[in-house]
Amino acid sequence: MTDHQRQALMRRAIHLSAENVQRGGGPFGAVIVRDGTIVGEGFNRVTASNDPTAHAEMVAIREACRHLKTFTLAGCEIYTSCEPCPMCLSAIYWARLDRIWFANTKVDAAEIQFDDHFIYDELAKDVAHRTIPMRGMLRDEALAVFRDWQANASRIRY
């Protein structure tokens, strides 16, 4: 793919973010591409859908997976108007996208009150020291389910 094509894809992601701002939504857009063809798009829908996970990248991943009828996006790239937050970055890894292209940085986002630094700090802490209390329970029962899944010869690995 040429630089001109990549720039056009990034401009599409930026355009989606700008359109969403005009509708009263957050300033984020994303495009997922396979072999030069857009297979998924998204813009921030957090407030529109009352869904804190409806970030542009998450919406684009869901759309691309529906379109391609798969849970893995290996062979695809994402163009996003801003460096992904920790949740979106994790989803990108889980989806196995090949490459991330971004425009604004996480520092740019923090300057307009979209600061994820506290999440990175929380993830680095031991579970016992996180802001939201976390306590384990019924592990033996849950481990039995893990063993059942592992013993299932027809399981689908992901």
CA distance 127 to 114: 24
| AA letter at 142 | A
The verdict on whether 57 is a catalytic residue reads: yes
CA distance 52 to 74: 26
CA distance 113 to 111: 6
Task: Name which of 44, 46, 41 is nearest 28 in CA terms.
Answer: 44
Question: Given 19, 41, 57, 77, which residue is catalytic?
Answer: 57
Catalytic residues: 57
